[in-house]
Amino acid sequence: MRLSITLSIVIGLSLVALSVERHVPLEYRTIQAAIDAARSGDVIRIANGVYREDLVIDHKAEVTILGDLPPAFDPEIPCWDPVADSNACVILGSIQILSCFRLTLEGLTVISPRSAIYIDGSKACFASDIAIRACNLVAGYGGAIALGEFYRHLSVSCTNAHLLDGESRIIESAGAPHLEDVFLTCSRSSYVSREIEPLAAQPVDVVVAVIDSGIDRTIPAIACRVWRNPLEIPDNRIDDDGNGYVDDVFGWDFRDDDPDSLSGSPIHWHGTFVAGVLVDAVESRLPTGVPCSVRVMDLRLLDAEGVFYTSDWPRLAAAIDYAVDQGARIINLSLYATRVPPIEVREAIRRAVARDVLVVAIAGNGAEELGPIARWSEVLTVGAVDREGNPAGFSNVGEELDLVSRGVDVLSLIPGGTLRTGSGTSFAAPHVAGVAAFHIASDPSLSVAALIATLTAEAIDLGAPGHDVQTGWGLIP
């Protein structure tokens, strides 16, 4: 696995000028005037009101535009709910973001006869690292956010999209789906022109267990997707559901043997990143008007360095059994072992499969043959490709490889909520797990065999026709 800060694009702006706050309409009569005057690091604060402007943000770096901000984050309430009520800063028009770097829009309500926001750049200067948070976007035609060809790293979170044409989605891209470079989570879309079907509005939750290094559930863009044990009362020191785990509200920390990954030893960034990839895979496929029904169960195994040891095999087996007993339909194992695990681990996976739980494993990053767990017939093994569909140089290969997904420069979150890119089969697997969860949400009766058949059938064949050792049955976009 590899984590890196997202690539910088150097734009010809002064690097020595001090950043300032620019206020609309106190200092600038229009939002566009404040944007035109903005320099790197500036914050534009827009007072509550209605602004009739079509905005063009061209070649700006590290500028933040703030409108009516929602109340403080409450983990008990989906973050998009208070955003829906925070619509005092309204822009009647559209926003074009052209060749900008690290631009943030937050707390805006944009009402447009077309897409509310359009993002693009050029071959020479991509639009990169664009963040849209806590906004309400109303689009008369097309997606709420339209993407051109030349962009990288778009993050959308805690945002409501209202679409009027009855056909579009929250994000629409000019490129193929597998070429999209978008992180979408904790956002809600709906058609203004019709009611959501009652059954679609109340889907059954699909639980995906992430056995990893722990998840930072305090991040608003992840918190609304975290699984909660409905039978456990928090902090009463009683095993309310009688499962042998006291106060296991969000899962269990098998590393510290306590109910909470966020207490005790620090968590490594890996698990939060994996959870973000998984949630994005589901939300990016949701039909408009259908709420996300996938929840992520946090089962911590890795230590603060992102490592587990041969002495941890019993913990891994216990985590798998916990996930199955608590109703998980999918288990994501972005873990890699070079040594053959004891039989108790394989038996735990077999018990999971026997109860129709899909176990997704990684190919590994050693540029070698698949390791022990990845070769087991009971798991769905996932390798990595780059953005263009080329096999990643680090991704392990073998006859047992089932599928591949993007695992190079993947966009997600790390603890604290910062957006980063990472590479590794660890980040290809949760995308496939998320797509699988989407299929179960659409048809809860799917067996593991039927689910794998569905994934294999929809995979985009790469390389030689049929199965091959580098890409399996193909790419899950």
Give me the residue label for tokens 């009647």: 92
The pLDDT value given to residue 10: 33
Q: What residues contact residue 247 under an 8 Å CB cut-off, 6+ apart? A: 232, 233, 234, 235, 236, 237, 238, 239, 259
Whole-model pTM: value is 0.81
Give the C-alpha separation, 218 to 205, whole Å: 21
| pLDDT above 70 as % of the chain | 89
Catalytic residues: 212, 270, 426
| pLDDT above 90 as % of the chain | 72
Are 448 and 356 in contact by the 8 Å Cβ rule? The answer is: yes
Per-residue pLDDT for 442 more than 50? yes
Q: What residues contact residue 244 under an 8 Å CB cut-off, 6+ apart? A: none
Per-residue pLDDT for 336 more than 60? yes
pLDDT digits (tens, 9 = 90+) for 15-35: 344 689 999 999 999 999 999
Give the C-alpha separation, 284 to 182, whole Å: 9
Per-residue pLDDT for 68 more than 90? no
Query: Higher confidence at residue 70 or residue 227?
Result: 227
pLDDT digits (tens, 9 = 90+) for 362-389: 999 999 999 999 999 999 999 999 999 9
pLDDT digits (tens, 9 = 90+) for 229-272: 989 999 999 999 999 999 999 999 999 999 999 999 999 999 99
Q: What residues contact residue 231 under an 8 Å CB cut-off, 6+ apart? A: 240, 241
Encoded amino acid at 67, one letter: G
Give the C-alpha separation, 23 to 42, whole Å: 11
The pLDDT value given to residue 85: 72
Per-residue pLDDT for 14 more than 70? no
Give the C-alpha separation, 318 to 347, whole Å: 11
Question: pLDDT-derived band of residue 216, with 50, 70 and 90 as boundaries?
Answer: very high
Query: Higher confidence at residue 174 or residue 102?
Result: 102
Pick the closest to residue 284 from 273, 272, 274, 292 (CA basis).
292
Q: Report helix angle 425-442 to 270-283, nearest 10.
A: 40
pLDDT digits (tens, 9 = 90+) for 33-64: 999 999 999 999 999 999 999 999 999 999 99
Question: Domains in the chain, start-ordered, CATH in brackets?
Answer: 2-191 (no CATH), 202-458 (3.40.50.200)
Give the C-alpha separation, 170 to 209, whole Å: 27
Size of the chain in residues: 477
Per-residue pLDDT for 167 more than 80? no
Three-state secondary structure along the chain?
CEEECCCCCCCCCCCCCCCCEEEECCCCCCHHHHHHHCCCCCEEEECCEEECCCEEEECCECCEEECCCCCCCCCCCCCHHHHHHCCCEEEECCEEEECCEEEEEECCEEEECCCCEEEECCCCCCEEEEEEECCEEEECCCCCEEECCCEEEEEEECCEEEECCCCCCCEEECCCHHHCCEEEECCEEEECCCCCCHHHHCCCCEEEEEEECCCCCCCHHHHCCECCCCCCCCCCCCCCCCCCCCCCCCEEECCCCECCCCCCCCCCCHHHHHHHHHHHHHHCCCCCCCCCCEEEEEEECCCCCCCCCHHHHHHHHHHHHHHHHCCCCEEEECCCCCCCCCHHHHHHHHHHHHCCCEEEEECCCCCCECCCHHHCCCCEEEEEECCCCCECCCCCECCCCCEEEECCCEEEEECCCEEEEEECHHHHHHHHHHHHHHHHHHCCCCCHHHHHHHHHHHCECCCCCCCECCCECCECC
Mean pLDDT of 438-453: 93
The pLDDT value given to residue 403: 98
The pLDDT value given to residue 202: 44
The pLDDT value given to residue 7: 35
Question: pLDDT-derived band of residue 191, with 50, 70 and 90 as boundaries?
Answer: low
Per-residue pLDDT for 199 more than 50? no
Do the bridges between strand 418-423 and strand 410-414 make them parallel or antiparallel, or are there none, so unpaired? antiparallel
pLDDT digits (tens, 9 = 90+) for 281-335: 988 887 666 666 789 999 999 999 999 999 999 999 999 999 999 999 999 999 9
Mean pLDDT of 188-216: 69
Task: Supply the mean pLDDT for the chain.
Answer: 89
